[in-house]
Each structure stands twice: as C-alpha cells, then as structure tokens.
Structure 1
Amino acid sequence: MERIERIELGDAEIIRILEWQGPFGPAARLVPDLTEAAWHRAGTDHYDPVDGSGLGALQTWAIRCGGRTVLVDTGVGDDRERPGTPMFHHRKGRFLDLLAEAGIRPEGVDAVVNTHLHADHVGWNTRARDGQWVPAFPNAVYHLPAADLAFFDPAAAHPARTDTTLDPARWTEWDQVFADSLAPVLAAGQAAPWSGTRTIGAGLVLEQAPGHTPGSSVLRLESAGERAVFVGDLLHSPVQFVHPSCSSCFCLDQAQAAASRRRILQQAAELGELVVPAHFAGPGAARLERSGAGFAPRWVR
C-alpha cells in the first residue's frame, strides 16, 4: 500500500507520501450520525461493505513551491508507546525511505505544519537518536497551533483535564504524544506557535478551523492562479462531503467541527480549491461542487 503520488498545481508540486491504507474501524462508529446507505454510496475505496469498516490512510502531504519544501502532518512515527491505539503502538514504517524516494532529505525540509496535535499528525516530528527523541527535520520551522499546545501540554494544566466526559486514558496517551513528538521540538527552539492566521511562505497561509481539536487548522496554497486547501481532520471520509454536518467520533466539539467543515468546504467550492484531507484512502484529493445540502467530489487523485 505504500506509495508516492504527485499532483501539479500551478507552479507547485504536491506529493502524497502514503504510509498505510486500510480499515480505520467500524464505519458506524467513525461517523456515528450516518446511515449504512450513506456509507455504501461512498464507494469501496472508502467503505468495506463486507465488514462495515470505514477505510482510511496514514499519509503526509509534501509541498514544493518557490524553492521551499513544506510537510503537512507527519503521521504516527516509529517505536511510539501508544498502548491505547494498537495500530499505532510500536509501529515500524518506511516514512523516511518514502521521503527519500520522493527526493526529500530531512535536512532539506524548510517547514513542518501540524494541522492539529493528535498522535497520527505529529509522529515523525521527531526521531530517536542515542536514546533521545530529537527533531527529525533539523532545519525546519514547526508551525504548531497555539490553542492545541495550550490544550495538550501537560504543564499548561488545561481545565478540560477535569472534564469527566473525557476518558482519562486519552489524557495519558496525549501526554505520551506530547513528550515524544512535541516537547523535543519545543526544547530545540524549532517550534513556531501561531493563532488566527499565519503566512508561512509565498502562497501558503494557515487558518484556524477549530472543533476537531481546539487548534485544528487548514493550510491554503495558491500558485499561479490555482488553489488547494489541506484540511487535516476536518473530514475523515468523503461521506462528509455529502453530509458536512456529520462529525467524526474523534471531534472534541462536534458542533464546532461541523461549522468549520461547512465554512471551509463552501469556500473551496466557490474558489475552485483542491481539497486535500489527511486520511482518505483511494483517491486522496478532490474538487467540489454544491449538491443539495452538501458537496459532490470530482476526484483528482
């Protein structure tokens, strides 16, 4: 399933680094408000009708534009303690090899964007060296949403830590993620927390889209009159194109996530932006047209 795909967008090159593709778990749990019929209409690239699984991917998107290389999200990482998420626990992958096959050296990465700070978006922020976690991209600026840093940093003691509706085991794993994938970047002085909007290079603008997490964000790319928007976990499946009011089980604030999703997708349809989600299996990016209360995708990859 590992592969590299390339998309030309204006003068920019978008590279899909696909590490893994397969079942993410029962579709009925992944996006709970959807019917089985809605999932069937998503197609077999995104839904397994035999066992009812929602299909997804672990992947990173690389952007080459204006002489710079930017990575959008960095997957799970290797050798991580993730006992609460078996598919992430002690994972071994070929991420750095895949980057090399795409012509990307760690030293040549100029910026890393974490659209939010969940385990499967920050894992390759760091790598193990001499028994320590160190930044995997020594010359990169890591753009981290400030609202997520405030939420997930154990030292910040966010009030949500006393929220009894959140499973304490989730905080345990979030703290492990912070310790191995975020704290080393902060300690190295390579982190650039941001809020509101941030321009990170010519034609590259970060924008908040909260709900999935407090700091969830999108990255907009404009090159030679063409546009794309990297939406992270704003969507987990193309069924959410058709039903944008339906949020995944992973969204901390489902109503806010739905509002962000509708806003970003509406703008994408109006501007002709290529929508690039983090976890789609099969085709990974699409342009949208309005269709009823939702949107119809026209797949690019």
Structure 2
Amino acid sequence: MHWNVGRVRITRAVEMETVGSTRFILPLATNEEIRKLPWLIPQFATEEGRLKMSIHSFLVETPSRRIIVDTGLGNDKQGRNVPSWNNRKHPFLDMLTAAGFPPDSIDTVLCTHLHVDHVGWNTKLVDGKWVPTFANARYVFGRGEYEHWRDHSDAPDKLAVFDDSVKPITDAGKSELVASDARLSDEITLIPTPGHSPGHMSVHIKSDGKEALLTGDVAHHPCQMAHLDWSSTADSNPQQSAETRRELFSRFADTPTLVIGGHFSAGYIKRDGDAFRFVALNP
C-alpha cells in the first residue's frame, strides 16, 4: 500500500495485523462503545465492534532520502510483555527486499519513539550479537526520548528493548540524536507530540503543495479521535496524551492533509462536534 504526496512516496510495510484482542491497550474501547461510531466500520472495526489494528513501518522516499519510519517488533527478541512478540521468525526483511527496499538501500531510520513495537527491526541477531539491520543508515532518535529511556529503562521489559534494539545502534556509532522539532530534509519536519512517551514525535511531510502526517502513537486507533480522553495503557502521561491529541488533530482537521497512524491506515481528520472523526482513504 502506498501514497504519493507531491514528490514524496510513502509505502506501508505491515508486520502484523490484528482484529480484536486490543482491550489491553485501549480498555475503554468496548465493543458496545465502538458500535456507536459507525464511521469506523468496516475500515477500522468490525460490525461487532472489534478494533482492526496493525504493526507496520513506513518507507518514505524523497528526492534525496530513503527513510524507514518505525521498525516494528523484529525477530529473535526476548523479554517482551506480550508472549507472541517474543522470539519471532517473520520474513519482514525479505518482504522489504521484494517490495524494492533491501535493507542496505535505506539511508535513514527514524523512530517516532522508542517503544517495543517501533524499534524491533533496528537490529538483527548475527552470531549471537545485535547489529544494525540497516547497515548504511543513520538512525534518528529524539534526544529527549533517547535520554529518558537510557536513564529510566529499569523495568525488565523496557531494559530488554533498550539493550537489544537501541543501545547497539549507539554502540555502533550510528545514532543521531535530534530535537523533537528538527527538520530532516526539505520535505520532512518533526512535530513534538509528547504524552504517549516523553519525547514522542510525529512526522510532517510537505512537497509540491501536498501534505501528510505520520502520527506515530498519538492515537493507537481512530476511535481516539472521537474520544480524546481514551488514553492508551501504554501512555506515559495520559492527560498530556489527550491534550496532544486535541492539539494535533485541531491543527490538521478539515485540511487536505493525508493522515496515517502508527497502527492504522490513511484518511482525513474531520471536526465532529467537540471532537473529531476519521474519513478513511480506501486503498
């Protein structure tokens, strides 16, 4: 699945898709409540009210850069708090290569934040050692995000993620720490969107008068556009995440900006009373 934004091309590479089994991340999104939002069906939820979500990466091609935004779960990882995320054996890199994106062709890896499902393919296991998967790339991390997890990854699951998917990048001299509002290229600027994590960033793309927004995990699902206060259990600051949602969605609502979520596909944000709804762009 891909979209063109001026001279920028965005391709989504899906590692995992789920239907239902999402209450652990959005406990207020019950089947009954989701059925009250018919605009979610069928693109983002089933008729029964079960959420549709995915774990995916974005390949962003500009005239001068070849970027992967967020890198999913990865293979061979241990210590994850979701059993099915441990010791995975997924042909994700083969899929990228078949789609025209062999890992060695990527020059930039950009992580919107450093949670488990956004950094996994940063590294791969080679002869018992974690090495950078994208050997020719610079890895761009938000400075505040990186320093937070470097200094506060004391919980076993957080420590495992940092040690196998983030620290090896820094040890290899391939990380670049940037401000959360940094400009990465003529077309790409970061937007500070804290709340889900302390240094979370979204990605604003502008080219030839067209715009797109990669939200990261500002919202895990479009239902959070209607219910801004439905914070994820993974949010480090639920109140701040709700404030960030209102601020970001207000900025891009009722504009032609193509919006693509960290766990859902593309559409446009529309104002709906005191909140918002999401109009899907069918592939």
Same fold (TM over 0.5): yes
Matched residue, 1:275: 259
On the 8 A contact 2:79/2:156 being kept in 1, the answer is no
Q: Which residue of 2 aligns with 1:260?
A: 244
- Residue 239 of structure 2: SS of its match in structure 1? helix
**How many angstroms does 1:135 deviate by?**
0.6
* Counterpart contact for 1:21–1:55, Cα < 8 Å: yes
Q: What is the distance in 2 between the residues matched to 1:34 and 1:17?
A: 26
Which residue is 1:180 aligned to? 164
SS of equivalent to 1:232: coil
Q: 2:214, 2:261 within 8 Å by CA — same for their partners in 1? A: yes
Q: Residues 224-263 of structure 1: matches in 2 within 5 Å?
A: 224-263=208-247
Secondary structure at the aligned position of 1:258 is classed as helix
Counterpart of 1:88, as a letter, is W
Bigger shift: 261-270 or 17-26?
Answer: 17-26
- Report the secondary structure of 2:184's partner residue: strand
1:66-86 deviation per Cα after TM superposition (whole angstroms, max 9, x unaligned): 131111100000010034211
**What's the counterpart of residue 67 of structure 2?**
70
2:108 aligned partner, one-letter code: A
Q: Which residue of 1 aligns with 2:103?
A: 106
The answer to whether the aligner puts 1:96 opposite 2:80 as a matched pair is no
Where does residue 164 of structure 1 map in the other structure? Answer: none
Question: How much does 1:110 deviate?
Answer: 1.4
1:289 to 249, 256, 270: 270
**Cα distance in 2 between the residues matched to 1:196 and 1:47:** 32
* CA shift for structure 1 position 224: 0.8
Deviation at 1:95, TM superposition (A): 1.2
Deviation at 1:25, TM superposition (A): 2.2
**Contact 1:243 / 1:293 at 8 angstroms: preserved in 2?**
no
1:60 to 57, 63, 73: 57
Q: 2: distance between equivalents of 1:137 and 1:34?
A: 37
Gaps of 5+ in 1: 162-170
Q: Secondary structure at the match of 1:199?
A: coil
Aligned partners of 1:23, 1:79: CA distance in 2, in Å? 24
- Measured in 1, the distance between the counterparts of 2:142 and 2:64 equals 24
- Could you tell me how far apart the structure 2 residues matched to 1:82 and 1:23 are? 24
- 1:139 deviates by 1.5
The one-letter code sitting in structure 1 at the alignment partner of 2:266 is: A
Structure 1 stretch 221-230 or stretch 102-111: which is displaced more?
A: 102-111
Counterpart pick for 1:39 among 3, 22, 34: 34
Q: 4, 7, 15: which is aligned to 1:11? A: 7
For the residue of structure 2 that corresponds to 1:18, the secondary structure is strand
Q: Pick which of 118-127 and 268-277 moved more.
A: 268-277
Residue 21 in structure 1 maps to residue 22 in structure 2? no
Unaligned runs of at least 5 residues, structure 2:
none
Tell me the equivalent position of 2:134.
Answer: 137
In structure 2, C-alpha distance between the alignment counterparts of 1:293 and 1:86, rounded to whole Å: 39
Contact persistence 1:268–1:274 (CA under 8 A): no
- Between the aligned partners of 1:76 and 1:297, the Cα distance in structure 2 is 27
* Aligned partners of 1:38 and 1:239 also within 8 Å: no
TM-score calculated relative to the size of structure 2: 0.92
Q: How does 1:110-259 map to 2 (within 5 A)?
A: 110-153=107-150, 156=151, 158=152, 171-259=155-243
Distance 1:144 1:38 in 2: 36
Find the residue that maps to 1:25 and give its secondary structure.
coil
What letter is aligned with 1:255? Q
Following superposition, the deviation at residue 237 of structure 1 comes to: 1.1
Aligned match of 1:165: none
TM-score after normalising by structure 1: 0.87
Is the Cα contact below 8 Å between 2:180 and 2:199 reproduced in 1? no
Shift in alpha-carbon separation, 1:53–1:270, aligned structure 2, 3 A: closer
Partner AA of 1:47 in structure 2: A
